[in-house]
Amino acid sequence: MHNSDSFVNWFRDSSPYIHAHRNRTFVIYFGGEAVLDETLNTLVHDFALLNSLGIRLVLVHGIRPQIDQRLQQQNKHSQFHQQLRITDDTALQCVKESAGLIRVEIESLLSLGIANSPMSGAKIRVISGNFVTAQPLGILDGIDYQHTGKVRRIDTSAIEQQLDLGHVVLISPVGYSPSGELFNLSAEQLATEIAVALQAEKLILMTEQSCLSTESGQLIAQMTTCETQYLIDNETQLATSTKCALQSAIHGCQSGVERVHILNRKIDGALLIELFSRDGIGTLISSIEFETLRPALLSDIPGILDLIRPLQQQGFLIARSVEHLEININDYIVIDRDGLIIGCSALHKISNSSAGLIACLAVHPDYQRSARGNQLLEQLFIDAQQNALQQLFALSTQTMHWFKERGFQESYFDALPLALQENYNHIRNAKVLKIDV
Ligand SMILES: CC(C)(COP(=O)(O)OP(=O)(O)OC[C@H]1O[C@@H](n2cnc3c(N)ncnc32)[C@H](O)[C@@H]1OP(=O)(O)O)[C@@H](O)C(=O)NCCC(=O)NCCS
């Protein structure tokens, strides 16, 4: 394939995701390690691109290695308990310096606008502020965490005001108490609390490694929260940072965040691949099954059209207009895979008869041959029974055998109810298939 063809195909394939993500709120966490890495500018450019595509973006950065570096320079180090730093006075000073420095560094990268750079013309406004109220973590297991805190409140309306204006909100892992004290917070936990408070559509945790299955060594592409908990409880070789991310993911999902993505930040363009390609590159965690078969909604129409357009062009399906879909949307069912429509079908009741017509049966080519066509058909049978229909018809030019193998019989034009005969397209000359339900 010519290079420009693959670019055009790739760009077209990503368009459903561009529509799906616009005006959605994503909270992205990345550790202090990412800030030390020479690839920071490409990561920040990707953030800028997401903002340009209308995604409401809240960035939460970590500062762990920066604090450690500063302490080391003073020949000091921190104690940790339950993966949390015990922040003494010296460490608190390092927290302030690290948070300030990183904030300025990210702001400056997002301000870059020189010609021929990926940021040219981007004009991004970054806002940081006192959005997080914290309280001391206190004494746990007899250990005084000193200046380590936990989130008490997130000023969601102030953050939302900034997001409404199209600004990127950048948040450091510190919180302020009403008495004016500063607390050091776990950045992953803070990102999770912010995602929960904003009811964000996505929480994206950028970690130091991919979440791999130790059995197969393969990436775990998706898990429910139950499967994630099972992994944490039974997988002894999980890296601590992955474990923390998975725990945050469970908390996020259980508190109302729809999707949590764990992404290896070392993969160049990981964010873009995960968000704008069909199967992504990270681990998707959700509390519900991420693929569902459900009745179609008006908001599914663009997705249905994207799915059926190529099949219409190949002559498998007849053309359907937006108006047709809008009027008949209650007849349609879809398979929704993480916001993307990968299967659909319709059952039209035929007026003045006890028959129905199965139409627009389609499964995206990448997802065929995994019984999704069957699932759709079974749901249509259930819908037909609930509507007291007695026969179902299908009109097919190339899929007769698929229907026959599922109990349909070849029938005749004259057997069609009158309303279907009147609308029958003789040029298309589709075969009539029939089944009693
Ligand atoms: C027909 C369709 C919905 C099946 O989806 P699916 O998710 O792959 O269905 P299933 O997994 O339940 O079934 C797959 C089986 O059907 C077979 N199959 C697929 N298309 C077929 C066809 N046109 N004729 C006969 N068998 C077919 C596959 O080979 C596979 O069988 P195998 O694994 O034994 O080889 C899908 O192929 C599609 O979208 N086709 C294009 C649109 C179309 O023709 N729609 C029907 C309009 S009337």
pLDDT tens digits, one per residue of 331-359: 999 999 878 899 999 999 999 899 999 99
Helix, coil or strand: residue 39: coil
Band of pLDDT at residue 239, cut at 50, 70 and 90? confident
Distance CA 119, CA 128 (A): 20
Of 273, 288, 303, which one is at a domain's C-terminal end? 288
Kindly state whether residues 159 and 76 are assigned to the same domain: yes
* The pLDDT value given to residue 1: 53
Kindly state whether residues 165 and 263 are assigned to the same domain: yes
CATH number of the domain to which 374 belongs: 3.40.630.30
State the distance from the centre of ligand 1 to the C-alpha of 404, rounded, in angstroms: 11
CATH number of the domain to which 276 belongs: 3.40.1160.10
Kindly state whether residues 263 and 368 are assigned to the same domain: no
Kindly state whether residues 318 and 212 are assigned to the same domain: no
Kindly state whether residues 46 and 159 are assigned to the same domain: yes
> Once rounded to an integer, what is the mean pLDDT over residues 214-220?
83
Predicted TM-score (pTM) of this structure: 0.67
pLDDT tens-place string over residues 84-97 = 899 999 999 999 99
Kindly state whether residues 269 and 322 are assigned to the same domain: no
Is the CB–ligand 1 distance for residue 420 below 6 Å? no
Count of CB atoms within 10 A of residue 126's CB?
22
Kindly state whether residues 296 and 283 are assigned to the same domain: no
Domain hosting 117: range is 3-288
State the distance from the centre of ligand 1 to the C-alpha of 139, rounded, in angstroms: 62
Distance CA 322, CA 243 (A): 46
State the distance from the centre of ligand 1 to the C-alpha of 38, rounded, in angstroms: 48
* The pLDDT value given to residue 115: 63
Instruction: State the total domains in the chain.
Output: 2
Kindly state whether residues 241 and 109 are assigned to the same domain: yes
Kindly state whether residues 261 and 318 are assigned to the same domain: no
Nearest 5°: phi and psi at 351?
A: -65, 150
* The pLDDT value given to residue 102: 94
Of 245, 265, 288, which one is at a domain's C-terminal end? 288
Is the CB–ligand 1 distance for residue 213 below 6 Å? no
Is the CB–ligand 1 distance for residue 110 below 6 Å? no
* Cβ neighbours for 219, distance < 8 A, ≥ 6 positions apart: 210, 211, 212, 213, 281, 282, 283
Kindly state whether residues 327 and 215 are assigned to the same domain: no
Is the CB–ligand 1 distance for residue 371 below 6 Å? yes
Report residue 63 CA to chain centroid gap: 26
State the distance from the centre of ligand 1 to the C-alpha of 345, rounded, in angstroms: 13
Kindly state whether residues 321 and 231 are assigned to the same domain: no
Mean pLDDT, the chain, rounded, equals 92
Of 270, 288, 306, which one is at a domain's C-terminal end? 288
**Position in ligand 1 atom list of the atom nearest CA 430:** 48
